[in-house]
Amino acid sequence: MDASPDFDFFPPIEPRRTGMMQLDELHAMYWEECGNPDGIPVVYVHGGPGGGSSPEKRCWYDPDAYRIILFDQRGAFRSTPLAEVERNTTQLLVEDMEALRKMLGISKWLVTGGSWGTTLSLAYGQTYPDACLGFVLRGVFLGSPDEIEWFLRGMRRFFPKAQEDFVKWIPQPERHDILTAYEKRLFGKDEDARMDAARRWFKYTESCSLLRHDPALVEEAAKNDTVVYGTGRLDAFYFRNSMFLEPGQLIKDIARIAHLPVAIIQGGHDVIAPPVAAYTVHRAWPGSVLHIVPDAGHSPSEPGIRRKAIEVLEYFKRNRRFDAAALQASGPV
């Protein structure tokens, strides 16, 4: 099956099989497999960290060509217990991915991810380079203190109303440390207050993710309490712990995966994960292909992001590599 000339989504499909993988005595991880069991193995690494893999993500990949693996990270969406932060670190998520690959009998897979999913994809690849065919990274986030501070405060330069709504319900004396104020509520004893804080966090993220803000889409997305709760709590927890990464770790260790092909797709007006991170990865990774989508923000639902991602995946299925000229890679940004 080939994508349409406009690189639209492939038709909806159902998993061939699903499961809950017991990770330890506390955590169990949801996973699913779609598409061609003899196809190119590809894994989708979701954002958040607590966002989970929506069924729509199956439709990015040609089901005739790819063996499509989706999973929900510890504490996310269908994994249990929901929003649990105990025994939840980047290093454990990396080991969960590797355990899943081995359980499924996959020798190597194409690692694809967006937003926080790019962070985890890079951390996984740098730990297990021999398990990777290559990478497709969308909306690069490196987990640096600057990026975290930008999310909490800097985005008000572009989305002042969204940031005001994010902050104004916090009492004035606590607003100097907005992360601590949210943690107090996200991890407090009051169940309603936890959910309220998570929903406000989620709406802030969604409100800043689209180039063309659509309040109706934000409200619709915020109706999924499971995703909202997991995103709010796990985002804040990972932010507090600097994403469990050493400063500059993912760039410093690029050499471990620099021999592998990578395509980087970045919204030119991405406010949540500004393009400088994608460009930093591109400059550090010889042979990387960077495409800046000029009329897109952060969300994978942006038409330009979707088209380029599917074009890249279509190219890889035929060539097992990425080519800058063929994919019309962008120049410096």
Active site residues: 115, 270, 298
CA–CA separation, 320 and 316 (whole Å): 5
Q: 282: closest CA among 147, 140, 160, 168? A: 140
d(CA 297, CA 166): 19
Per the DSSP assignment, residues forming a β-bridge with 20 are: 30
Distance separating alpha carbons of residues 242 and 244, to the nearest angstrom: 5
DSSP track, 101-141: HHHTT-S-EEEEEETHHHHHHHHHHHH-GGGEEEEEEES--
- DSSP output for 269-323: T-SSS-HHHHHHHHHHSTT-EEEEETT--S-TTSHHHHHHHHHHHHHHHHHSS--
- Angle ∠(140,93,21) on CA atoms, nearest 5: 130
Element of type H or E holding 194: helix 191-207
Beta strands in the chain (DSSP E): 17-22, 28-35, 40-45, 66-71, 109-114, 132-138, 262-267, 289-293
Q: How far apart are CA 156 and CA 150, in angstroms?
A: 9
> What are 292's strand-pairing partners?
266
Q: Count H helices, E strands: the chain?
A: 11, 8
Q: Which of 62, 70, 65, 66 is nearest to 7 (CA)?
A: 62
- Nearest CA among 63, 61, 78, 245 for reference residue 145: 245
